[in-house]
Amino acid sequence: MSSSTDHFYSIEDLRQHAKKRLPKAVFDFFDGGAEDEITLQRNMLAFQEKRFIPKILNNVSIIDLSSTVLGKPSHLPCAIAPTGAVGFGWREGDIAIARAATSAGIPYCLSTTATASIEEIANHAPGRLWFQAYVLKDQDYFRKLIQRAQDAEYEALMITVDLPVGGKRERDLRNDFKIPFHFTLKNTLDFASKPRWALPMLFNGVPELKNLSGLTNASTTNESLASSVGNNYDPSFDWDRLQAVRDLWPRKLIVKGVLNHEDALRLVKMGIDAIVVSNHGGRQLDGAMASLDALPTIVAAVNQAIPVYLDGGIRRGSDIVKAIALGAQGVLIGRATLYGAIAAGEPGAKRALAILQSELMRTMQLCGVATVSEINPSSLSQSTF
């Protein structure tokens, strides 16, 4: 671990450092949510409302954090969630997070909108790799992405289903922020205010969304989503099309973006291998319920038929314990490692995971549980205050 990151003691420390080093528009793109950001905030508040009931006088001198994630051993009950456009915050930030995941012994999920290609991640960060495919209107391009992931030996495909259209991210609109960059007086002055960020962009070029090279994006209006792929999502994607993906992909298939228990049951019957309970980090439908609030009903409906994972709001190791206590087999970490990477590159991403690992271990010890499998509903109070 680089000593330069030792002074970051929490994920919030990393977030604040990222905020200092990035132009406002760029930081807000990563940090923000849709509209009034109610769901973004609710994802974190849901964890804060849960209270532990510690068990005393248990031997917690040795803590085993290992788990099974998607049928294979994992050093932590975690995987890295797909986060797009990381290279705009830290050049080669996607590779940095992937390498951090490999070092930590957990799976890494590459976003369609990454600034590193499917092949680059496989070459530079060999480990347990998943690919998250956004559903595109260009179905041929969509199928080619899936084939590329298969050719690169990715162990799992993740289909994100909570994004038929892009959310209204008002921070981006107010900051004149779009990808690809559309320069205005406002955002040019903002970019110039952070020369250590701006000069590499000027001399080395603006990163590209490499998995989407050649995909046409005709929209230039101010109301377009702050990602070039946003105008290419396919709102007609339905259950039949998902079944076609299931038939096409020969390995593990994960569906991310589930909040409704009836949808979860239908996915089980379809032969999906795992579900991620998620509201897209509060970046799409504002007013959607918190992922943690939706988790227990989905866990009960699925009834251990397939793994259920939780995405959204993880900022502390204690959050991981709470999610598992409510029935998740593990969590996806998104903004935590993202903040680490855009604060300090690969050392920052590694520091984020080290912070969560240390907090997870300490929380388990203080709760009187020595293994992940011992975490259960009795670890939490049924009341909130």
Catalytic residues: 280
- Structure token pair of residue 166: 């892009």
- Structure token pair of residue 144: 């080619």
Tell me the sheet residues that pair with 156. 130, 252
Between the alpha carbon of residue 346 and those of residues 62, 92, 97, 368, the distances in Å are: 29, 9, 6, 33
The b/e string for 232-262 (b: 16+ C-beta within 10 A; e otherwise) is: bbbeebeeeebeebbeebeebbbbbbbbebe
Count the neighbouring beta carbons within 10 Å of the beta carbon of residue 96: 27
Instruction: Single out the residue of 220, 223, 219, 127 nearest to residue 168, CA to CA.
Output: 223
Does residue 133 come out as left (phi exceeding 0), alpha (psi in the -120 to 50 range) or beta? beta
- Structure token pair of residue 173: 């609109």
> Would you say 267 and 258 are in contact if contact means Cβ atoms under 8 Å apart?
yes
Helices (H), the chain: 11-21, 24-31, 38-48, 93-104, 118-124, 139-151, 170-174, 185-192, 195-204, 239-248, 261-270, 291-302, 317-325, 335-367
State how far the Cα of 364 lies from the Cα of 90, in Å rounded to an integer: 33
State how far the Cα of 69 lies from the Cα of 307, in Å rounded to an integer: 8
Between the alpha carbon of residue 44 and those of residues 38, 289, 331, 357, the distances in Å are: 10, 12, 14, 18
